[in-house]
Amino acid sequence: MFPSDQLYIVLELANGGQDLESYIFNNALQVFAVFKQTACALAVAESQLKFEHRDLHWGNILISNVDKNKTLRYRLNGKDIDVDTHGVEVTIIDFTLSRIEFDGVVIFNDLSLDNELFVAKGDYQFEIYRLMQQSNRNEWQHFEPYSNILWLHYILDKAVSSALRYKNSRTKIHREYLGKLKKLEEQILSFPSVV
């Protein structure tokens, strides 16, 4: 069936967890932890590699259960930032549309060639693509860190719009952290980058 010189690859990936859309959280404190982990990961990548994810919808954020006392450490501009997981750990996936720069070499996907990406309707995700296009003037090689802010706003929108599911939505801690997420949602678009 295949020629004798056919090459194959076996790729093994770790289980990163359930996507943000289908995960059931204990309460909004866990979503706050997800937001902080995602923001810290983006900030470090943005700072070190001029990174933009450009497609960070809720299918590309995986959540796994970890010890509730586990803490993650991020190093941003020489400073350590510790983030409590509260029992959930984030894995960001699918870098197909991402932009990264290393040693002066820019790797990116020229999204100006994909007009269909910018005409879809329905979810806020599709509006984010148009907002990115507007922000970078459809020049996708250019570093525009505001795109990461747009995706963080998308995550916050999902958190506060009842799109995410919670086991304990009537607790005081849930209401407290839902309020914090709402406040972040109201303010985040005023920042130029995650850093």
> What are the tens digits of pLDDT across the range 139-191?
999 999 999 999 999 999 999 998 999 999 999 999 999 999 999 999 999 99
Q: Please report whether residue 9 resides in a domain.
A: no
Distance of alpha carbon 135 from alpha carbon 126, whole angstroms: 14
20: left (phi over 0), alpha (psi -120 to 50) or beta: alpha
User: What integer pLDDT is reported at residue 125 of this predicted model?
Assistant: 97
Q: What is the mean pLDDT of the chain?
A: 97
Catalytic residues: 55
Domain harbouring 173, CATH code: 1.10.510.10
User: What are the φ and ψ backbone dihedral angles of 95, each rounded to 5 degrees?
Assistant: -100, 20
Q: Please report whether residue 27 resides in a domain.
A: yes
Q: Please report whether residue 11 resides in a domain.
A: no
**Domain hosting residue 166, numbered range:** 18-190
> Length of the chain in residues, anyone?
195
- Answer whether residue 1 shows pLDDT above 80: no
What is the pLDDT confidence band of residue 31, given thresholds at 50, 70 and 90?
A: very high
Distance of alpha carbon 19 from alpha carbon 153, whole angstroms: 17
Residue type, 125: Q
Q: Please report whether residue 195 resides in a domain.
A: no
21: left (phi over 0), alpha (psi -120 to 50) or beta: alpha
**Number of domains the chain is built from:** 1
pTM check: above 0.85: yes
